[in-house]
Amino acid sequence: MSLAKTLRKIAAFFWRDFAIARGYRGALILETLEALFGVATFFYLSRFVESPEIQRALPAGTDYFAFALVGFAFFDYLSVALSAFDASIDEARQNRTLEALLVTQTPLPVILAGSAVYPFTVMALRTCVYLAWGALFFGFAPRAANWSGAFAVMAASVLSFAGLGILSASYSVLFKRGNPAKWVVLGVSGLVAGLMYPVSVLPPWLQFVARLIPVTYSLQGMRAALLAGARWGEIWPSVGALLLFAAVLLPISFGVFAWALRRTRVTGTLTHI
Amino acid sequence: MAKKETGLPEANSVITRWMPEPAIRLDGVEKYFPPTPSGWRALLQPFLKPTQRALAGVSFEVARGEAVALVGSNGAGKSTLLRVLATLLLPTRGRAKVGGFDVERDAARARQQFGYHTGGDEGFYGRLTARDNLAFFAAMNNITGPLARERIAQVAEWMGLGSDLGRPVRTLSTGMTHRLNLARALLHSPGILLLDEPTRSLDVLAARDFRRLLKDSLVKRHGTTLLFASHTLTEIEQIADRVVLLEKGHLVACDSVRGLIAATGTATLEAAIAKRIGARKHGLVGEDPLP
């Protein structure tokens, strides 16, 4: 299939999801306000916990609010990335569109990629909303930010998170309900990846675990780009690690997903809810 | 000529016209499903050995431009067989080909050959209009732009959907959604149609019109091959060149309606089916052992 055809199909998925979401404008407004409440909570929490000890543990030139805001915004991104694929599969199963899609002339990887484009785009916008609320009302000021570096970290994060998301969708295809793998990834990442505190405050063995998780590099690179205005040379190790995760996780996840789908074609449980 | 009338590329029909093979071929197709345990054992279900038989060595062919009805009791294996041909299920043993392409080894190319009607009024995005739904599935079948608009207008007219194309699918009646489902199967002008109870939710007149569309326009004029499951005897008699009778996964008979009636010495198709299935149920036809 040509690239042009693939892009047209991915665009069709995006417009499908956009058209559906347009029907829920109220939810969109509420989510934007919810982000404001989240940011406000972090702001007052950061004022409460601000201390010389914490300040010393943070990267240079960073206050705790900015540190936690970036962590909070991008951890949310990971949780959506992990859910995007299995949510789209689950929804397609619920509204019975999965079979209709699978008998079209669209290969499975394109169906998966297309289903994730809209949630990833919305989540990127939501992340911007978090940061914008912080900048508008709570003094978050990424004046020295390296925006192109932040974009590169974001793009590399999308690829590596997508691998985890597709693995999670494979579980959903096989077992339908519950997804322990997703919650393990989210739980471990929340603990060790440096969401609310720097990885450096963890015991060495947990710091080692943190190095095995893509979100650690995502948060590290994003904070460096947004808060410290790091140059490309400083951001590149994080981007490189994320691309390495993507290079390993994406082929494995596509293989596992194809195997899971094949099993459902053997068992006849593809559309079971 | 077909291109002028449908406005669609001729690729699929050219492939089916010149292919030396029949449109559909099944060689000893068997399908077994694993048991469905309850409780925590349900987690093992994807890995259990398939032991429950749904199709038992079914073999037959459907020639290009032929209309064949799949007939049988509930659970006879009709839908399973259609789902194997639609590449949604893998056969446990045997081979199935659609348009000359193996449904297991060459599924992507097999999918280019057929339109599949899922047998229900589901499978759409309720908040989108009927037109948006058709446009989305047209795009998934590589039909976009003016060609997609033209094709959507045409299938909508065929299915009597014209004035309802702008309505969200969730506001359509069951029958209208069913028509939309059929319209989707016809969108990419497939050379082969696999239909599971195609007129189940249609009103009497819509069902009559749809049968005419199938037989007169698609099968006779365009040479479309049709394999459909049905419980409606008038539909079978009006459309089918041949009847494939299934019972508990076994092929019991494969003959024309007249041939079936003559072979059973009965007066009607209903009596012929009853006699054949009755013979099977009473063990007059040999039962295959489980593997």
Residue B221 and residue B97 in one domain: yes
Q: Which of B48, B50, B128 sits opposite A20 (nearest CB)?
A: B128
The DSSP line for A211-265 is: TT-HHHHHHHHHHHHHTS---HHHHHHHHHHHHHHHHHHHHHHHHHHHHHHHHHH
pLDDT tens track for B15-30 = 545 556 899 999 999 9
Q: If DSSP codes are grouped into helix, strand and coil, which group holds residue B146?
A: helix
pLDDT of the residue at B286: 38
Give chain B positions within 8 Å (CB) of A2: none
Instruction: Residue B249: name the closest of B66, B26, B5, B9 by CA.
Output: B26
Domain contains A273: no
Measured on CA atoms in the order A253, A258, A259, A261, is the torsion positive or negative? Answer: positive
Q: Chain A 21-50, CB below 8 Å of chain B: which residues?
A: 23
pLDDT of the residue at B9: 42
Q: Which of B50, B87, B122 sits opposite A96 (nearest CB)?
A: B122
pLDDT of the residue at B280: 61
Strands B225-229 vs B93-98: parallel, antiparallel or unpaired: unpaired
A231 close contact with B: CB closer than 8 A? no
A4 close contact with B: CB closer than 8 A? no
Residue B88 and residue B42 in one domain: yes
ipTM for this prediction: 0.81
Higher confidence at residue A190 or residue B97? B97
Instruction: Residue B55: name the closest of B190, B252, B229, B193 by CA.
Output: B252
Higher confidence at residue A272 or residue B276? B276
Residue B128 and residue B182 in one domain: yes
Q: Chain B 183-212, CB below 8 Å of chain A: which residues?
A: 184, 188
pLDDT, average across residues B155-181: 87
Domain that holds residue B151: 121-189
Residue B127 and residue B249 in one domain: no
Q: Residues of chain A with pLDDT > 90: what percent? A: 18
With cut-offs at 50, 70 and 90, classify the pLDDT of residue B91.
very high
Q: Please judge whether A97 and B127 are an interchain contact, meaning their C-beta atoms are less than 8 angstroms apart.
A: no
Residue B103 and residue B206 in one domain: yes
Query: Is residue B13 pLDDT above 60, yes or no?
Result: no
Interface test with B, best of A17, A103, A170 (most B CBs within 10 A): A103
pLDDT of the residue at A80: 80
Q: What total number of domains does chain B contain?
A: 2
Domain contains A22: yes
pLDDT of the residue at B184: 92
Q: Please judge whether A265 and B140 are an interchain contact, meaning their C-beta atoms are less than 8 angstroms apart.
A: no
CA B133 to chain centre: 21
Element (H, E) at B68: strand B67-72
B139 close contact with A: CB closer than 8 A? yes
| Residue B143 to residue B125: CA distance in whole angstroms | 19
Q: Please judge whether B126 and A95 are an interchain contact, meaning their C-beta atoms are less than 8 angstroms apart.
A: yes
How many C-beta neighbours within 10 Å does residue A44 have? 11
Residue B217 and residue B232 in one domain: yes
pLDDT of the residue at A59: 67
pLDDT, average across residues B51-77: 92
Among the three residues B171, B189, B207, which one is the final residue of a domain in this structure?
A: B189
| Long-range pairs for B199-202: beta carbons < 8 A, 24 or more residues apart | B199/B230, B199/B232, B199/B235, B200/B119, B200/B120, B201/B120, B201/B121, B201/B174, B201/B175, B201/B177, B202/B175, B202/B178
Domain contains A29: yes
Domain that holds residue A108: 3-267
Place of tokens 């003559």: B262
Q: Please judge whether A99 and B87 are an interchain contact, meaning their C-beta atoms are less than 8 angstroms apart.
A: no
Most confident region among B24-38, B83-97, B106-120 by mean pLDDT: B83-97
Among the three residues B189, B215, B240, which one is the final residue of a domain in this structure?
A: B189
The mean predicted confidence, pLDDT, of chain B is 84
Domain contains A145: yes
| Residue A127 to residue A118: CA distance in whole angstroms | 14
Q: Please judge whether B50 and A267 are an interchain contact, meaning their C-beta atoms are less than 8 angstroms apart.
A: yes
pLDDT of the residue at B19: 52
Domain contains A272: no
Please state which of the ranges B85-99, B185-199, B209-223, B243-257 shows the lowest mean pLDDT. Answer: B209-223
Residue B182 and residue B205 in one domain: no
Q: What total number of domains does chain A contain?
A: 1
pLDDT tens track for A81-99 = 778 888 888 888 888 888 8
Q: Please judge whether A9 and B127 are an interchain contact, meaning their C-beta atoms are less than 8 angstroms apart.
A: no
B140 close contact with A: CB closer than 8 A? yes
Domain contains B44: yes
Higher confidence at residue B224 or residue A52? B224
A121 close contact with B: CB closer than 8 A? no
What CATH number has the domain bearing residue B87?
3.40.50.300
Give chain B positions within 8 Å (CB) of A268: 33, 80, 83, 89
| Residue B213 to residue B183: CA distance in whole angstroms | 12
Query: Is residue A160 pLDDT above 60, yes or no?
Result: yes
Domain contains B286: no
Residue B59 and residue B154 in one domain: no
* Shortest distance, CA A265 to any CA of chain B (angstroms): 4
Q: Please judge whether A105 and B111 are an interchain contact, meaning their C-beta atoms are less than 8 angstroms apart.
A: yes
